[in-house]
Amino acid sequence: MRGLTRAGKRASEMAFNAGGGVINWFPGHMAAASRAIRDRLKLADLVIEVRDSRIPLSSANEDLQPVLSAKRRILALNKKDLANPNMMNMWLDHFESRKQDCISINSHSSNSINQLLGLVELKLKEAILKEPTLLVMVVGVPNVGKSALINSIHRIARSRFPVNDKIKRATVGPLPGVTQDIAGYKIASQPSIYVLDTPGVLVPSIPDMETGLKLALTGAVKDSVVGEERIAKYLLSLLNIRKTPLHWERLLHRREEFDEEPGHSCGKGSRDSLRRRKRINNSDALYVQDLVMEVQATLCSTAMEFTGNIDEETGLESLIDAQLLALRKVFRIPHRPLDESHGPTAKKLLTLFRAGKLGPFVLDDLPDEIKQ
């Protein structure tokens, strides 16, 4: 993972981002929400700041950091199932070295949420002895999984605490910014503990294009703000700079059961056998698995066959264009004359990445003092 900062900056400054300028990430409703969050933070006994494990730094709301650092705070790095576990451990060490309570979680895992609740109780141990009512506030940028986390807390709290009040559910949607109001949810009695859910709020402007593209890639803003093709090209640039498609060659070789030419995992034999498997298997899960293998095989083969220099911007852009054209065939997207758009291809590629089908990633680079 060394050198990712340099690589990420190169990717963010490529020609397909030229002229983009500072993107307006801040919808109107976020201004009012940000003010409301600041007011309620004054009352919170503890703050759970939820971030995306794939971007532990880029998913922080920098405008709120001065306020949050003065509170009892737990950093919850959510979606750990989508992040590289080795890198995740290094990030946990990093935050621990900075005296920040941090835990990696999967908001859909009961085990993860139990660990988080245990840390919350530990952090509130002294306050519980003094206060009859405690407030825990959940904050974070859009689409880091705050509402899903609160819903999971509710399910576990019902079995752990004698809660008599009706417990409401947080609204969860597929698009960032669905929760647009602040609501309190009672999760425990004796003492009474309330969790406050908040809308996801980004900073008013993100002048660092690299951070902005990472937020877009992980779904913190709607794709329409940046453009799916632009985001997909950024993803491919990162994969190629890291040489990830070449690393897939060994993985594909191990997984390919019907490859007639074992030494050519990225070649035509692999793709033909993948098509045979799709004819044999009718299961949606098996279809997705086969599709992912074909995507990986295609990105691998195009990278291996490319004769240009990806250390040069024009060479990397040529490789990305070739990969998008090849993926159009993989995704069975019909070619229309005079249609140069990669929109449908980009959409399908981003869907696979965001679901973790292409593998676990951490996009942020560790600070220099933590690198091994």
d(CA 202, CA 222): 12
Q: What is the pLDDT of residue 285?
A: 58
Could you tell me the residue range of the domain that residue 63 belongs to?
A: 28-197
On the question of pLDDT at 265 being above 60, the answer is no
Give the torsion through C-alpha atoms of 288, 294, 296, 297, to 10 deg.
160
Q: What is the pLDDT of residue 240?
A: 95
**Buried-state track 50-59, b at ≥16 Cβ within 10 A, e below 16:** bbbbbbbbbb
Backbone angles phi, psi at 352, to 5 degrees: -65, -45
On the question of pLDDT at 228 being above 80, the answer is yes
Helix (H) or strand (E) holding 134: strand 133-139
d(CA 324, CA 18): 19
- Does residue 330 lie in a domain region? no
Q: How many domains does the chain have?
A: 1
Residue 104 has what DSSP assignment? E
> pLDDT (tens digit, 9 = 90+) per residue, 105-141?
999 999 999 999 889 888 888 787 777 788 898 988 8
- Does residue 46 lie in a domain region? yes
Residue 62 has what DSSP assignment? G
d(CA 235, CA 11): 9
On the question of pLDDT at 167 being above 50, the answer is no
d(CA 258, CA 276): 9
On the question of pLDDT at 207 being above 50, the answer is yes
d(CA 220, CA 214): 9
- Does residue 174 lie in a domain region? yes
Q: What is the pLDDT of residue 101?
A: 95
- Does residue 83 lie in a domain region? yes
- Which amino acid is it at 124? L
- Does residue 126 lie in a domain region? yes
d(CA 197, CA 174): 17
> pLDDT (tens digit, 9 = 90+) per residue, 229-264?
999 999 999 999 999 998 888 766 655 544 444 444
Q: What is the CATH number of the domain that holds 151?
A: 3.40.50.300
The pLDDT-based confidence of 166 (bands split at 50, 70, 90) is very low
Q: Which residues contact 329 (CB under 8 A, 6 or more apart)?
A: none
Tokens, residue 309: 């220099």
209-217 and 228-242 are packed helices; what angle lies between their axes, rounded to 10 degrees? Answer: 100
On the question of pLDDT at 177 being above 90, the answer is no
> pLDDT (tens digit, 9 = 90+) per residue, 4-40?
444 544 566 665 555 444 455 555 556 666 777 787 8
d(CA 100, CA 182): 26
- Does residue 10 lie in a domain region? no
- Does residue 158 lie in a domain region? yes
Say which residue, 6 or 157, is predicted with more confidence: 157
Query: Once rounded to an integer, what is the mean pLDDT over residues 153-157?
Result: 80
Does the predicted model carry a pTM greater than 0.85?
no
Quote the mean pLDDT of the chain: 79
- Does residue 115 lie in a domain region? yes
The pairing of strands 46-52 and 73-78 is: parallel
On the question of pLDDT at 217 being above 60, the answer is yes
Residue 171 C-beta-side C-alpha neighbours within 13 Å: 14
Q: Which residues contact 274 (CB under 8 A, 6 or more apart)?
A: 290, 293, 294, 297
- Calculate what percentage of the chain has a pLDDT beyond 90: 40
